[in-house]
Every structure is written in structure tokens, then in C-alpha cells.
């Protein structure tokens, strides 16, 4: 298609898009318009900045795309191309440095440095560069990283659909090591404070929040009656983490290549074995098995062979008892898990009722125990010091002539068990002893 034809098609697509209510009402047509804009700009060697796109937008305001109008538009594009080519050659870093000092628009600068005007590059430009929260060098490096990863859609998904639970997602865990400003991006609304001076990026988030906030009156119902009616918003769902401290005995592993893994088994350390299934990230599960020497290596080998033997569109199933002669005990690890949401038959999201949990974090049992022991000992020491001081104050009340019952109330020792513990600590302290946690 020649440039003249593209311009004519662009004009008609643009008018049709306006008639149908704009981008939100017809995303496919909007994408076609954007694609034509980029193709027309590329034909003239122009970056699709707002300055250059203004020529096309003015073209769409004409009554009709006559030959004279088309010729005039093409002349404007040629003039812009000549001016662009004659301009001094500058590096991307120099362009960002100039943009920072001149407070330029992201929609003019980003196309110049080969960056799309997606959420994340706009955030980096407006929130990190222009507000002097990061150097131009750091911003450029981040822009190049996200471009190399080509993860613009994934990053936006975290912001708009997992804002409160992003740390639990596989997308976040994969991207976090490569994007140093990802956390700042995902916590923008939380960190805004009371300032009313927002960038275009943040303002768009605020408008989305307002649009999603219901304004009509909603009758107050108990939560257990309301949730089945309206469901749970996945974007605001903040599940409670549960730490599984019982030993998880794995019985069967089911997975598709490059997807999450479901491991069925039971918790064995309690009074009765409790059957349940856990959803793992495949890489994290393989790293777990690697820490169990011979038995773990045997299961890893089944994973490799399973992928080689897998039939198309069929899940890989590893029954550990059939393959190895016994189940696998993950006795070296704890699992921090949470309940996922599921889409019900009525189209609403609800917390899954079955005994299935997604693994948020795998913890080494020995290291976690040592850390918890240290924390608990420190907390107990503070509590014991508080009780000791309370009993010392209790004795001072008695010496001042206060009745014992009232002295206990005044010092918070009215509970018999608390009082006896405080008394024993006081006696131990008086005779030069101390509580030994070893």
C-alpha cells in the first residue's frame, strides 16, 4: 500500500473510530489506527512523537481527504522529515538529559529514543527522570532492559490486575531481578501522599481508580451474604498467607511444559495426615528437588524424561510411588502458601474451597527455625523484663501501704498465672539468676 493509500485509509478509520465512541468502544479499530500512524511515520523516517503525529491529527479534521488535502499533508510530512534529518545527531542519553532540563513531554521524547509510549516507559520518564528520583543513565538502562525483555504488557498487568498481590505472581518473580524500578512503579498510588501535582502516568491511574469506584448506593449486607453476590475483585484481592510447618509428603506431580506444577500429597506431622495439593512455579520446584541429593536428582531425571516423552496437549503425570517406590518427603523445607481465586459458574471470583494452595515462598526449615528462635527469644526477653519491672512496682506499692489486690490491678498482675510468673522472675533476679533459653 502506497503512502497516499495509507493516508486515505487512516482518515476513514479515524472518522469511523470517532463515530463508534473512541478507543474504549472499539479497541481493534484503534489498534489499526495506531498501526497506520506508525507505518506512515516510518515511511518518512519520522519517530511517532506527538509533534509529528499532530500533522496526521490535523489531517483528520479536514472535511474530506481530497487530492489537494493529501498533497498538502504529504508536503508537511516531507518538511518534518527534512528538519528531523538535518537536526544534530544526539545519543539517547543526551536526549534524556535535555528532556530533563527542559521538562519535555514523554510523548515527544520516548519515540525519539526508540521507546514505545507504554505505561512503564512513561512512568520512568515522568516519575523517575523529571522528578529527579533517578539519573538519566539509570532511567535509560531501565528502558533498555524492559525493551529487551519486551515485557510492557506483563508489567502493566501487574499494576492493573495484581496491585495488592503482585509479589505473589510468577510475572513479578521473573521480572524483578531485571527491573530495578519495578517496585516503585507498582506502588505509585500507595506512595502519592496528599500532593495534587501528578504526572500524566499517575493521573491516569487515579482516574482508573475513580472510574472503578462505585458511586451508587449499595445496601449493607454481611460479608458472607455479599461476597457470593458480587464476588471478589482480583485487583484488590489480598489473600492471607499460611505457613505450613508440617512435613509435606509428595505423592503425585502433574504439569504442562512451561506452566505451574500441581503437587498432590499430605501433611504428615500432625495427629492425622491431611491431604492437600500445592501449586508451584516449575523452576522453584526443580530448585527444591536439587537440595535433596539422590532422591531429588532421581525426580529431576523424571522431569527431563517426562518432557521428552510428553504427548502434545497432554499433561505430564509423575506418580512418585510408582516411579521411585516411595513418596517424597520435603522435610528440609516449610511452605508459605495462600488460597487462589477461582471463577465460579455465575462469573464471579471466589476463594477456592478445595484443599489447594499456591506456594508463595519456599523456606529452608533450618534457617527459618534459627531466625524464629532468635526472634522469639528476643521477644520473650522483653516480656520477662516487663513482668519483672511490674513485680518490682508491685512490691513498691505494698511498701507504700497499698492493699495487695489493688496493687495487682495497678501493675497489671491481676491474672494469677501472670502474677506467679512475675514473682518467680523477680525471685530469680534477686538471687542472681536469669532465664536460660538454651
The pLDDT tens digits for 318-340 are 899 988 899 999 999 999 999 88
The whole-number pLDDT of residue 96 equals 93
The whole-number pLDDT of residue 436 equals 75
Helices (H), 277-361: 282-289, 293-309, 320-324
Q: Give me the residue label for grid cell 494469677.
A: 416
The whole-number pLDDT of residue 197 equals 44
The whole-number pLDDT of residue 171 equals 83
Average pLDDT of each block of 10 consecutive residues along the chain (438 residues)?
88 89 79 88 88 90 90 92 85 91 87 87 91 92 92 82 73 88 78 44 47 41 43 70 92 76 87 88 89 89 72 76 91 92 72 87 93 88 91 92 92 93 90 76
Residue 247: DSSP 8-state: P
Does this model's pTM top 0.85? My answer is: no
The whole-number pLDDT of residue 213 equals 42
Neighbours of 81 (CB within 10 A): 16
The whole-number pLDDT of residue 219 equals 40
Residue 124: DSSP 8-state: I
DSSP string, 140-182: HHHHHHHHHHT-HHHHHHHHHH-TTTGGGSHHHHHHTTT-TTH
Q: What are phi and psi of 63, to 5 degrees?
A: -65, -40
Q: How far is CA 321 from CA 69, 235, 326, 327, 329, in A?
A: 76, 40, 4, 5, 12
The whole-number pLDDT of residue 210 equals 42
The whole-number pLDDT of residue 246 equals 92
Kind of pairing between the strands at 328-329 and 248-255: antiparallel
Q: Give me the residue label for grid cell 499517575.
A: 202
Q: How far apart are CA 360 and CA 173, in angstroms?
A: 10
The whole-number pLDDT of residue 413 equals 93
Asked whether the beta carbons of 388 and 425 are under 8 A apart, the reply is yes
In 3D, which of 416, 417, 411, 380 has the Cα closest to residue 393? 411
Residues 6+ apart with CB under 8 A from 130: 99, 100, 103, 199
Q: Give me the residue label for grid cell 472535511.
A: 63
Amino acid at each position: 500500500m502506497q503512502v497516499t493509500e495509507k493516508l486515505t485509509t487512516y482518515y476513514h478509520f479515524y472518522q469511523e473510530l470517532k463515530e463508534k465512541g473512541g478507543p474504549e468502544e472499539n479497541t481493534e479499530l484503534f489498534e489499526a489506527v495506531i498501526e497506520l500512524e506508525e507505518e506512515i511515520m516510518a515511511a518518512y523516517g519520522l519517530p511517532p512523537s506527538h509533534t509529528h503525529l499532530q500533522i496526521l491529527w490535523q489531517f483528520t479534521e479536514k472535511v474530506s481527504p481530497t487530492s489537494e488535502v493529501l498533497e498538502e499533508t504529504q508536503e508537511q510530512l516531507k518538511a518534518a522529515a527534512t528538519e528531523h534529518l538535518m537536526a544534530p545527531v544526539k545519543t539517547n542519553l543526551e536526549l534524556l538529559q535535555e528532556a530533563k532540563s527542559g521538562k519535555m513531554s514523554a510523548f515527544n521524547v520516548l519515540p525519539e529514543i526508540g521507546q514505545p509510549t507504554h505505561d512503564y516507559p512513561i512512568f520512568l520518564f515522568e516519575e523517575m527522570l523529571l522528578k529527579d528520583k533517578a539519573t538519566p543513565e539509570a532511567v535509560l538502562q531501565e528502558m533498555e532492559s524492559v525493551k529487551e525483555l519486551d515485557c510492557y504488557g506483563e508489567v502493566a498487568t501487574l499494576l492493573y490486575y495484581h496491585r495488592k498481590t503482585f509479589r505473589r505472581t510468577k510475572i513479578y518473580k521473573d521480572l524483578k531481578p531485571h527491573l530495578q524500578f519495578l517496585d516503585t512503579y507498582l506502588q505509585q498510588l500507595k506512595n502519592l501522599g496528599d500532593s495534587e501535582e501528578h504526572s500524566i502516568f499517575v493521573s491516569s491511574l487515579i482516574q482508573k481508580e475513580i472510574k472503578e469506584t462505585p458511586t451508587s448506593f449499595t445496601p449493607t449486607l454481611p460479608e458472607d451474604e455479599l461476597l457470593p453476590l458480587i464476588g471478589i475483585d482480583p485487583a484488590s484481592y489480598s489473600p492471607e498467607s499460611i505457613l505450613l510447618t508440617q512435613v509435606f509428603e509428595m505423592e503425585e506431580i502433574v504439569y504442562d511444559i512451561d506452566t505451574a506444577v500441581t503437587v498432590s500429597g499430605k501433611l504428615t506431622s500432625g495427629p492425622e495426615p491431611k491431604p492437600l495439593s500445592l501449586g508451584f512455579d516449575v523452576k522453584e520446584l526443580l530448585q527444591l528437588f536439587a537440595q535433596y541429593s539422590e532422591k531429588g536428582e532421581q525426580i529431576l531425571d523424571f522431569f527431563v524424561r517426562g518432557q521428552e516423552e510428553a504427548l502434545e496437549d497432554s499433561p505430564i503425570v509423575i506418580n512418585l510411588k510408582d516411579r521411585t517406590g516411595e513418596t517424597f518427603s520435603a522435610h528440609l523445607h516449610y511452605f508459605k502458601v495462600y488460597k487462589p481465586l477461582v471463577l465460579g459458574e455465575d462469573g464471579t471470583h471466589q476463594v477456592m474451597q478445595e484443599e489447594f494452595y499456591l506456594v508463595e515462598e519456599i523456606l529452608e526449615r533450618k534457617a527459618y527455625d534459627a531466625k524464629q528462635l532468635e526472634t522469639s527469644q528476643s521477644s520473650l526477653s522483653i516480656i520477662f523484663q516487663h513482668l519483672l519491672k511490674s513485680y518490682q512496682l508491685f512490691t513498691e506499692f505494698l511498701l507504700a501501704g497499698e492493699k495487695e489486690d489493688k496493687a495487682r490491678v495497678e501493675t497489671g498482675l491481676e491474672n494469677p498465672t501472670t502474677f506467679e510468673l512475675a514473682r518467680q522472675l523477680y525471685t530469680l533476679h534477686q538471687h542472681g539468676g536469669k532465664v536460660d533459653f538454651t
